[in-house]
Structure 1
Amino acid sequence: MRFLAWFNEIPNDELALSAGGKGASLCLMHRNRLPVPEGFIVCADMFSYFMKESGLRERALTLISQIDWSNNSNLISIAKQIRNMIMDTPIPPYLAEPIKGYYNGLGSDVPVAVRSSGTAEDLEDASFAGQQDTYLFVIGSDAVVKFVKECWASLYNDRAIFYRHEKGFDEREISIAVVVQRMINAEKAGVMFSANPITKEKDEVVIEAAWGLGEGVVQGIVTPDNYWIKKGSYELVNEYIAEKETMVVRLSEQGGVKEVPVPAEMVELPVLSEQERKELVDIAVRVEAFYGKPQDMEWAFENGTLYLLQSRPITTLD
């Protein structure tokens, strides 16, 4: 069993089961010199071991078997019971201390993102996007351990349980990894698609951009700028510059995030320069070529440097 690993340590044939969908993608991009912030994986084996050794696995399976799938209140209640069981069960020191050691390997009190990465995530015929939890600007080894467990518990959100049931996933085969990754304190961020998900054009990159952290776009907090750009010529096919009144930024030196008003002079200002648009198109083309299929990516600029935070297959083209 593999419990912890840096992005470059898990063999390719073990990635999906060890690192989950999101983690596997980040590991692959990192080792192929794409601009992914450094980090490590709390592997799915650690979650499975914790659940089995604590007796929580069988208790969770028993509760799920009792769900009345036609009764939403019953589903929500049982899902909450399972999450509470996990949160009320301490992670043993022999598991928690190595997590702290890996975190400290990133530096002293480095702000990190702690992201869930399910083993059934980012499949071509299923999208679990947003169904498990992510925590931003987590600081300190104790906090990292706490939010790793929060991510584990989020595997049993009612939406995720119901979605797995609808898709026919076997709960005995489900697990979750957690990505712990240096946090990018973005001045501008967003999502992009290496093919146009609206028109299905394969030679267009679609970019959505907003001020601050990408959570503003991903969570639908802000209406982002929108650009459709040809891959070869960088021709701007379509451009919409939104009034961006809100942005998500770091809460404080102690971590966390908050929503704040965008400064008045930036509300109607385009988020991306022409050079930044070209840089994003170039990286979208590289990532698509690497995976051999159109990708849905999350990106951020910090101090003028572009980072990739996630990539998954686009599931809506066919």
Structure 2
Amino acid sequence: MSPYLAWFDEIPDEELAHAAGGKGASLCRMSRAGLPVPKGFIVRSEMFNAFMEANGLWDYVFEKLDTIDFSSDASLISVAAEIRERIISSPVPQEMAEDIIRFYSQIGDSRQPVAVRSSGTAEDLDDASFAGQQETFLFVIGNDDVVKYIKECWASLYNDRAIFYRREKHFDERNISIAVVVQCMVSAQKAGVMFTSNPITNDYDTVVLEAAWGLGEAIVSGIVTPDNLWINKHTGEVTTEYISEKETMVVRLNERGGTKEIPVPEDQREAPVLTDDERNQLVTLANRIEAFYKKPEDIEWAIVDGQVYLLQSRPITTMK
């Protein structure tokens, strides 16, 4: 057992918020609840803190943050870049790196693609929608790259958007940390987001589905307009359906990892992404998740060969 790493089902509830961050805590809870979450582990925030201590970085970071002129975008961007560069150029202590590699080897073989996602300890709080402030790296393959991109996630705690956001929300920088999720990569044939209640109309009886071909990053990054369905969560009736023209999809780049954008095949561009069975699976999961969390959730999902996987869930902060 490592003091710094844990499988999704190993972290006690009382430790989740500070050890796993918002994204990680949600995956841990869903995994323990028996929901279809791909296998993965948490690089606990304690490892980030120990890495910073080992490299003498805390004083440097806090001194740099104190020099930012928040009335100047140039000042914020420049200082943030300097902090990230210092973190990225600092070595991960050997014992920590060996621990990471040991856990990675238990996910699959040495070429198992994983998603490496940051999970800030201030992320996805009910009263402060903090999503997207840190980084996600997809189809990461091999020991060296897994360690490298974990460090990139740590550094992303200090991107300019995240620093500015924390200042606006009055977070204390000395109480901020970051965990990292390392999770089996799902080579999605179709993916999207799902709102267990409708945040547009404040309707608690409607599930909203957005779906596109390939990886969900096509939707998250805004390069494609997804299909949009509103479904009565009690009857399964589709009350609103918009099937978009989907020209671009995001897929795996090659055997070495990474992603790329490609054209959607002509016969799929104006076709509905979801089958009736997949749609019904998603609505069933939406109801299970909302019952589990006892509040509306915003969920990222992926489908491979008709099987739905849940990649992330966070509270919907705009419901009244």
- Give the TM bin, normalised by the shorter chain: over 0.9
How much does 1:47 deviate?
A: 0.2
Superposed CA offset, 1:34-74 (max 9, x none): 00000000000000111122111111011111111111100
CA distance in 1, matches of 2:242, 2:3: 47
Alignment of 1:1-318 (within 5 A): 2-108=3-109, 109-318=111-320
In structure 1, the residue corresponding to 2:209 is in which secondary structure? strand
Give, as a single letter, the amino acid of the residue that structure 2 aligns with 1:158: D
In structure 1, the residue corresponding to 2:99 is in which secondary structure? helix
CA distance in 1, matches of 2:311, 2:160: 26
How much does 1:127 deviate?
A: 1.5
Deviates more, 1:172-181 or 1:53-62: 53-62
**Which sections of structure 1, spanning at least 5 residues, go unmatched?**
none
Superposed CA offset, 1:180-218 (max 9, x none): 000000000000100101111000000000000011111
Superposed CA offset, 1:206-252 (max 9, x none): 00000000111111111000000001111111000000000000000
- Contact between 1:2 and 1:18, CA under 8 Å: does it hold in 2? no
CA distance in 1, matches of 2:262, 2:236: 33
In structure 1, the residue corresponding to 2:124 is in which secondary structure? coil
Give, as a single letter, the amino acid of the residue that structure 2 aligns with 1:267: R
CA distance in 2, matches of 1:107, 1:295: 30
In structure 1, the residue corresponding to 2:107 is in which secondary structure? coil
Deviates more, 1:47-56 or 1:238-247: 47-56
RMSD: 0.8
How much does 1:2 deviate?
A: 3.1
CA distance in 1, matches of 2:204, 2:3: 39
Superposed CA offset, 1:1-54 (max 9, x none): 931001111111001110000000000100110000000000000001111221
- Contact between 1:40 and 1:102, CA under 8 Å: does it hold in 2? yes
Superposed CA offset, 1:118-139 (max 9, x none): 0000101112211100000001
- Contact between 2:54 and 2:93, CA under 8 Å: does it hold in 1? no
How much does 1:297 deviate?
A: 0.1
CA distance in 1, matches of 2:58, 2:318: 34
- Contact between 1:245 and 1:261, CA under 8 Å: does it hold in 2? yes
- Contact between 2:212 and 2:226, CA under 8 Å: does it hold in 1? yes
The runs of at least 4 consecutive aligned structure 1 residues that moved more than 6 Å come to none
CA distance in 2, matches of 1:104, 1:195: 38
CA distance in 2, matches of 1:121, 1:2: 22
- Contact between 2:230 and 2:240, CA under 8 Å: does it hold in 1? yes
- Contact between 1:52 and 1:58, CA under 8 Å: does it hold in 2? no
Give, as a single letter, the amino acid of the residue that structure 2 aligns with 1:145: V
TM-score, structure 2 as length reference: 0.98
TM-score, structure 1 as length reference: 0.99
In structure 1, the residue corresponding to 2:167 is in which secondary structure? helix
In structure 2, the residue corresponding to 1:105 is in which secondary structure? helix
CA distance in 1, matches of 2:59, 2:176: 13
